[in-house]
Every structure is written in structure tokens, then in C-alpha cells.
A and B are shown apart, each in its own frame.
Chain A
């Protein structure tokens, strides 16, 4: 049977003791390969008192593993013309390998080595701990990360996995030893509830065989349970953080939003695109930058995860202008939930989004992101093929309703961080 060659359509393969194998064809003409392991290893699982451990493990795994020390692993990658990267989020952590398609089998084996057998060499642990400590300082002293941190703390209650940014604090990171790292790795880098996404020239059968070879003996445990209670609805409020000596003020608005798999996600997605998600066309960009000349960046995002999410609207501006920018952001968020968007404005945003799909197929890396999204959220294999249809089925009234519920201006929290008074 011919296998799909359309990179918009993924193929779900067999389940290797809980590890779901997903294959995606590379875009036409692409000569590279990408594979990603995503597991239930985000910082929402940090044990109390060891905050920061998920990030440490996520950084350390692709650093030295199995027979490869840090330098040997780097050399092995260089010889293949490949790179390893990683990402950590509240619910999950991922490790990605990228390199020449001709070597996909060997590179998949290397990814398995890194995911399954990180070494946690003492020197390496000490180095990453120092780096995390510096990032903690950056998070409190830089306006942008500080505003984001304070916003999440204002939206989500203590103990909620979305409340933190995963860096822990000085004491918690100091407390994490090698044994704790190994324990966290054993529990969370498993086959249970994890996905392996492969984008490249190989057919599904070959990918499955290679995955079976590379991931044989992978710890088969039940997926850890992430406790995500619904956050209490935050009441609108404003929090300011004075950071003297900086040049720019960072403004954030936000609140809880929907999960990625929620039925209303397409409507929420469009509402965000209208607000600030669509570059250049969005209301925030047009009003704050193009007409107001008040900021270099003004945008919005919806962070939709498995169990819930949050939305943010943001801009960076001068000390003498931030009050005006905050008022504009609030006004635009409120308008989106109050008035029905015109069919013309919605049509433009929607068709622009749909028209952009070919750009996501320029390279293996671009296409791979689509497949990882589908696989991690267990969306249908033809999700991206049907995406235009899903968007076109959303009428203007539903966008307004979605905005009112999932980008709720009435209960938005505002955070402002930076040099609040003009110099």
C-alpha cells in the first residue's frame, strides 16, 4: 500500500509499550531529517522542594549519554552534521535530533541513547546548575521574563503546574543531586504517555522497526499523573514591578484559556489571530504600532496545552507611554469579546492563516513542528489537512463568544515591569 507523501498528514504507528510512533513525510526536496521524543517530563512534575529539576534533566539528557561524554557526544554530532535541541514546558519535555536524511537510522539511535541513558556526570550537573542559577537572576532582573513570571503567578494559584516557569529558586536547585536527577529521569522519561515523531524519507514500517530496535527495554511505566485543577477565576488587577536602570517597560495582560484539544480551539485561535496573533494584520499591531507609533512590538498568544492553557497580550514601550499602551491593550481585548467581528475582517485573517500553510512546508524543521503538535495532543492524523475546513466553519459570532470565554477581558490580569517612571 502506498504511504502518504503529504507532510500535512501524519501516520500513527504502533504503540511500543506506551510510546506512540508517528511518522511524517519530509517536504518535497528536503534532504534533512528530524525526530523528537516528547514525554511527560515537564516542570509541572517537579517534586516540592526540588523545583527546577525537570529543566535540569531536560538540559542534561542531550549533553552526555551512554558511551558518550560531553565532548564525545558533540563530536559524534559534528561528524554527522547533526544537532540536538531540547525544550521544556509545564506538562512535557522534548528532545529533538536534526541532521542529514541519509543517516536517519543512526541518528534515531542516538536520540534513543540520549533520552534513555543520560549520564548526569557530576561536572556536567554542576555546570548546568550554575547556568540555571544565572537564568534565575535574568528572570527577575529583565523586564520581559519578569513580567511573564509575575503574570503567571497572578493567574494561577500556588501548586498549579502553569504557575511557574520551571527554573526553581536558588535553594531548590542547590538541593537537587545526582540521585534526584536519576529518579526524576527514571519516572518521567519513559515510554508511557510519550510520543516519538519522525519526519524524513523512511516509510512507517522502517521507522517502527528502527524505533523498536533503538527503544528496546525502554522503561515501561504508567504515565505519571499531572494534577491540573481548574484555576480559580482571577479578578482583574494590575501589578507593577519597578526595575530601575532599564530602558523599556514590558506590559503583559492575560488570563486562563482553553486546552489544545478543546472543541472551541479553532474559534479561540481565530480570536487570538485577530487580536494580536497574526503578524502585521492584527488589531494590536495596527493600533499600538502602526497607528499609535507607541511600541516596536505588540502581539498576543494563546498557550493551549493538554489540560488547559492561558492567553497573553504583550507590548514593549517607553516609561512615558506604558499607561497609554496598557489602556489600548485592555480596550482591544474587551472589544473582541463585546462586538462581533465583521465578516470581512474575519475572512482576511482566516484566509491569511490558511494561505500560509505552504510556508510551514519549506523545510523538514518547519513541517516537523506541525507533526509534533498533532502527535503530542493526540489529534487526528489529517488534522492539518482539515484545518482550513475547521477554520471556515467558525462564524463571526462564535469568535466573539470564544473571545469572551477564553480571552476574558473582564478578568484579565495586567503586569507592568521595567523603569516605570520616565528618566
Chain B
């Protein structure tokens, strides 16, 4: 195969004296400009009692700062035809605004205002409490969310990955405005942020504008390493859930390596072989998982013979060791015992015989072709650059991609044997109750 590289655009990067890291990816032809601010704070920085604080702070950053009152951030962006949003993950929180290129100053003004000076007033915290509660309830309507939350809670006993970024119900009910403000002041700031701008702009003028707006901010914000190390799992863990739903559902998880672990590339290839794609380098207009993958092993073993209506895997490498998961939704009338046995057989066979040369060739081709259009559009460019920058560096994407393409069949086989050990497995099964299928 010809040497393939990630089509990452040429970027200019610099660091302001207050620690703010800036990445500029100009695309002269782009009609839009996309501004992303990534903070190295997420649910990994929380502890029991304040779980969900990162996500709540994310909401509060839309509710007032010195130059923008409540609702004025939304208004300023939407009135010029822009769109904005934010999301919170285990390892980071990201804010993005995409505007017609001539309005680039609008998001830069907003981000410089709220990076260190968000107000987080008591009255707005209270109002947002029910909104966040509602967001969580919306997710709880889906058995898949309940199962995944339970899975992580079981698989991790020490590390903060054991709770979802939305936080526990009891903490959402209890958390105080003071706790949220303290959290914000500790983690938000120039030292713990990366500003990414992609799209149609003049890099020299924009660099000057960024310097003018962000340089006066104080050097604040801590990137705090998680001290808790999750001990090795020494026995299978499992849980049975019941509730309204359609057909039985199963999720199995195994401890998986962190992003910078040398074992990560082979684990990503395992994901591609079992589930059909690896999320970071998938084809399609979105962020992976666009469709079905009938050539993938799980699909052939579970969906083709009629055991399941959906079956896939997921490995998203994180800053700290996370999970490799397999999800399957049973076909009507099929028991979870049969599904679980089929999943066990699939992973065992991969460890025993390894992938075929055809599978390896197809997986590599899929990765190489899939990544070719990954940087189309200013918003997507801002996302990808920031994602890798906040976890390691933009250049790390090339390194990781090359490493994944270089994985051999023998390495996949040996990785499967190391990863899919019974004593490191966590299983959550969900059985629908009668009321859920009353139709």
C-alpha cells in the first residue's frame, strides 16, 4: 500500500505568555470560520459529591460573563448567522462556534470574556439544575444509557471513569453554586486551554487579534493529573437490569489501553475487525458509526444468523485506560445467554486464529480511504485539530494513524488474547419488562 498520511491542513501554532495554546488552520476558500476552545477538564477531574460538575459548568458558561448577560452569547452568535454549542467528555470540555467568516471577532470576544470571568450566578445555577436533570432523564429513557452507566460503574472502582459525564442524580440534586464556581476557577483558564481557529481568515491579522484579546487574561487553570490508578480486575463482574424496552440488550466491557499506550493501535484494529470501523479514522460525513458493517466479525456472527438486530464494538482511546466494549441488541425471541455465548466465541476465535490476510488488507484499506476526507469544512477541521491537541498533539494523529496501519495480524491476535480475558470482563444485561412492549 502506498504511504498514506492524514490530510491534516497546515497549521500555525503559538503559545501566549499566559500559557494559552493557539492553533490556526487557515483555509482561504472557506466561507466560514470555526472557533473551538478545548479545556483539559472533564469528569475525570470530579469526585463523588460533585460528579457532573464539568458538564454543569459547561452549561453555566452560556449564562453570563462581564460583557455578555444571560442569553447574550447565544444572541450575539445566532444574530450573525452562526451556530454554537459545547460538550463535556471524560477528559475534556469543548466549546465551538462557527460563523460566516466576516464575523470571526464575535466568538473571539465571547471566548476571551468567559475563559476566566464567567459569573455563574446563584439564580442561574438553580434554573439550570432542572435543565440538567431533564437532560439526564432524556438519556435515562434509553436502556443503552442505563446499561453503559452501570457497566462503567462496575468495571471501575477507583478511577473517575466510573461515572458518566452527566453526573449522578444525587449530585445534581445537591451540588451548590459555590462548588461550581470553585471548580470553574480551578480548571478554567489560559494555562489549561487550547484555542483552535479553522476556516476563512487571514492568519497574521487573526494571530494579532487573538494576542490582543487573550494576552491580558491571567495565567490560570490547572491541568490536574488523575492520581487514582484503577487496580487490575481479577474476576468477572456482572449485573442484571430490568425495565421498559424492546428486546434484551447486552454490553460487555474489558479494560483497554490509554491513547498513548503502545497497545492502543492494535486495539483500534481489533475494533475495526470486530465492529467494522475505528471511530477516529472512519469514512463518512460524521464522527464514525454511520452505518452497518456487514463484513465485520460481530455482524457476521450475531446479526447474519438472526441472533441480534445490532451488534458492534467500540474502543475510543482516552487519556487513561478505559474500556473496549461490545454491544448487542437481541432479535425477538433470542435469549441473552445465546448472545453472550456468541460474543465469547467471536473474541475467543480472534485470539486463537487471528485475522485472515484478507481481513487485514480490507481493514487497512478502509482506514486509509476513510481518513481521506476527514478535514472537509472548517468545523470538522477545528474539531479534529482540537481533539488530538487536547489529548496529546495534532501531530500525534499522524503517528497514531501510521501505527494503526502498521499493526500486523500476529499483533492483533496477541492483543485479542491479552484483552479478552474472562477475569477482566464486565457484563451488563438488560431485560425488558412487559409494560415496555404494550403496543
CB of B293 within 8 A of CB of A248, answer no
Minimum CB distance partner of A144 in chain B:
B141
Question: Which of B291, B329, B331, B377 has the most C-beta atoms of chain A within 10 angstroms of its own C-beta?
Answer: B377
Q: Assess whether B71 is in contact with A290, with CB atoms less than 8 Å apart.
A: yes
Determine how close the nearest CB of chain B comes to the CB of A345; give it in whole angstroms.
12
A266 within 8 A of B: no
Could you tell me if B247 and A134 are in contact, using CB atoms closer than 8 angstroms? yes
Asked if A143 and B141 make an inter-chain contact with CB atoms under 8 angstroms apart, the answer reads yes
- Report A127 CB to chain B, min CB distance, Å: 6
Decide: B435 and A244 in contact? CB cutoff 8 A.
yes
Q: List CB contacts (< 8 Å) of B378-399 with chain A.
A: 378-380
In the assembled complex, the Cα of A31 lies from the Cα of B372 at a distance in Å of 9
Quick check: is B126 within 8 A (CB to CB) of the other chain? yes
Residue B181 CB within 8 A of the other chain: no
Contact A30 B71, beta carbon cutoff 8 Å: no
> How far is the CB of A81 from the nearest CB of chain B, in Å?
3
Closest to B140 in A: A247
State whether B306 touches A130 (Cβ < 8 A).
Answer: yes
Q: Nearest chain-A residue to B283 (Cβ)?
A: A81
Q: A75-B362, A100-B373, A280-B74 are in contact. Are A140 and B439 (CB under 8 A)?
A: yes
Does B244 lie within 8 Å of A83, measured CB to CB?
A: no
**B436 pairs with A245, CB closer than 8 A:** yes
Distance of A79 Cα from B372 Cα, bound (Å): 12
State which of B79-87, B185-193, B263-271, B423-431 sits at the interface with chain A: B79-87
Q: Which residues of A contact B309 (CB under 8 A)?
A: 130-131, 134
* Nearest CB on B from A267, distance (A): 20
Whether A100 contacts B81 by the Cβ 8 Å rule is no
Q: Are A247 and B141 in contact (CB under 8 A)?
A: yes
User: Within 8 Å of chain B (Cβ to Cβ): is A236?
Assistant: no
Q: Is the CB of A123 within 8 A of B304?
A: yes
Stretch at the interface among B15-23, B29-37, B336-344, B348-356: B29-37
B98 in the interface, Cβ–Cβ < 8 Å? yes
Interface centre among B128, B132, B283 (most CB of A within 10 A): B283
The answer to whether B306 and A127 have CB atoms under 8 Å apart is yes
Do A363 and B369 touch (CB < 8 A)? no
CA distance A353 to B376 in the complex (A): 23
* Alpha-carbon gap, A92 to B179, bound state (A): 53
A286 to chain B minimum Cβ distance, whole angstroms, is 7
Would you call B285 an interface residue if the criterion is a C-beta within 8 Å of the partner chain's C-beta atoms? yes
**Is B213 among interface residues, defined by CB-CB distance under 8 A?**
no
**Inter-subunit contact A141/B134 (CB<8 Å):** no
**Contact, CB under 8 Å: A70 / B78:** no
B291 and A359 form a contact (CB under 8 A): no
A355 touches B141 (CB 8 A): no
B201 to A: closest C-beta gap in Å = 13
B27 partner residues in chain A, CB cutoff 8 A: 29
A358-B101 in contact given A127-B304, A317-B134 (Cβ < 8 Å): yes
Q: Which of A75, A78, A365 contacts B285 (CB 8 A)?
A: A365
B231 interfacial contact with A, CB 8 Å: no
Is the beta-carbon distance between B372 and A98 smaller than 8 angstroms? no
Bound Cα distance from A83 to B321, whole angstroms: 32
Asked if B203 is at the interface of the complex by the 8 Å CB criterion, the answer is no
Complex Cα spacing A348 to B117, Å: 28
Q: B5 near A: Cβ within 8 Å?
A: no
Q: Are A281 and B370 interface neighbours, CB within 8 A?
A: no
Q: How far apart sit A357 and B369, CA to CA, in the bound complex (Å)?
A: 30
A281 touches B376 (CB 8 A): no
Answer yes or no: A108 CB below 8 A from chain B CBs: no
Q: Mark A73-92, 1 if CB is under 8 A from B, else 0.
A: 01100111111110000000
Q: Are A70 and B294 in contact (CB under 8 A)?
A: yes
A294 at the interface (CB under 8 A from B): yes
A279 within 8 A of B: yes
* Residues in A neighbouring B81, C-beta threshold 8 A: 351-359
Q: State A30–B31 Cα separation when bound (angstroms).
A: 12
> B82 contacts A134, CB within 8 Å?
no
A278-296 interface with B by 8 A CB criterion:
278-281, 286, 289-296
Q: Are B138 and A248 in contact (CB under 8 A)?
A: yes
* Residue A246, interface by CB 8 Å: yes
* Residue B100, interface by CB 8 Å: yes
Would B380 and A293 count as touching, CB distance under 8 A?
no
A30 CB to closest chain B CB, in angstroms?
6
Contacts of A245 in B (CB 8 A): 243-244, 433, 435-436
In the bound complex, do residue A31 and residue B376 qualify as a contact, i.e. CB atoms below 8 Å apart? yes
A136: interface (CB < 8 Å): yes
Instruction: Among A29, A70, A79, A348, find the residue whose CB has the most chain B CB atoms closer than 10 A.
Output: A29
Beta-carbon nearest neighbor of A84 in chain B:
B291
- B83 and A356 contact, CB distance less than 8 A: yes
CA distance A351 to B331 in the complex (A): 49
Q: How far is the CA of A413 from the CA of B63 in the complex (A)?
A: 34
In the complex, the answer to whether B373 meets A139 with C-beta atoms within 8 Å is no
Whether B78 contacts A141 by the Cβ 8 Å rule is no
Would you call B345 an interface residue if the criterion is a C-beta within 8 Å of the partner chain's C-beta atoms?
Answer: no
- Residues of chain A within 8 A (CB-CB) of B74 are 280-281
Closest to A64 in B: B294
Residue among B31, B134, B331, B433 making CB contact with A296, cutoff 8 Å = B134
Contact between A83 and B373, CB atoms less than 8 A apart: no
A217 close to B (CB within 8 Å): no
Q: Is A206 part of the contact surface with B, judged by Cβ < 8 Å?
A: no
Q: How many Å from the CB of B381 to the closest CB on chain A? A: 10
Interface residues of A in 239-288 (CB under 8 A from B): 243-248, 278-281, 286
Would you call A393 an interface residue if the criterion is a C-beta within 8 Å of the partner chain's C-beta atoms?
Answer: no
Residues of A near B130 (CB, < 8 A) are 293-294, 318, 321
Residue of A246, A295, A351 touching B244 (CB-CB under 8 A): A246
* Assembled-state Cα–Cα distance A311/B306 (Å): 38
The digit string for B222-253, where 1 denotes a CB below 8 A from any CB of A, is: 00000000000000000000011111000000
Interface presence of A28 (CB below 8 A): yes
Rounded to whole angstroms, the CA-CA distance of A83 and B435 in the bound complex is: 38
Asked if B182 CB lies within 8 Å of chain A CBs, one says: no
B13 at the interface (CB under 8 A from A): no
The B125-170 residues at the A interface (CB cut-off 8 A) are 126-138, 140-142
Q: A17-43: which have CB < 8 Å to B? A: 27-32
The reply to whether B31 and A27 form a contact with Cβ atoms under 8 Å apart is yes
Measured in the bound complex, the distance between the Cα atoms of B261 and A209 in whole Å is 52
Question: Are A279 and B78 neighbours in the complex by a CB distance under 8 Å?
Answer: yes
Known: A30-B376, A31-B373, A359-B32. A141 touches B436 (CB 8 A): yes
Judge whether A359 and B82 touch: CB under 8 Å.
Answer: yes
10 pairs of residues in contact across A and B, judged by CB atoms under 8 Å: A31-B376, A81-B372, A100-B372, A137-B247, A138-B246, A141-B244, A296-B131, A355-B103, A362-B378, A362-B380
Chain A contacts to B: CB under 8 angstroms: 27-32, 63, 70-71, 74-75, 78-85, 98-100, 123, 126-127, 130-131, 133-134, 136-144, 243-248, 278-281, 286, 289-297, 316-318, 321, 348, 351-359, 361-366, 418
Q: Lowest 10 CB-CB distances: which A-B pairs, in order?
A: A355-B81, A140-B439, A81-B369, A293-B127, A247-B140, A137-B246, A28-B29, A280-B74, A358-B31, A247-B137
- A-B contacts besides A142-B142, A358-B101, 12 pairs, CB < 8 Å: A28-B31, A71-B294, A98-B285, A127-B306, A141-B438, A247-B141, A248-B140, A291-B127, A352-B80, A355-B82, A356-B81, A362-B379
Show the binding face of B for A, using Cβ within 8 Å: 27, 29-32, 70-71, 74-75, 77-84, 98, 100-101, 103, 126-138, 140-142, 243-247, 283-285, 290-291, 293-295, 303-304, 306, 309-310, 329, 331-332, 362, 365-366, 368-370, 372-373, 376-380, 432-433, 435-439
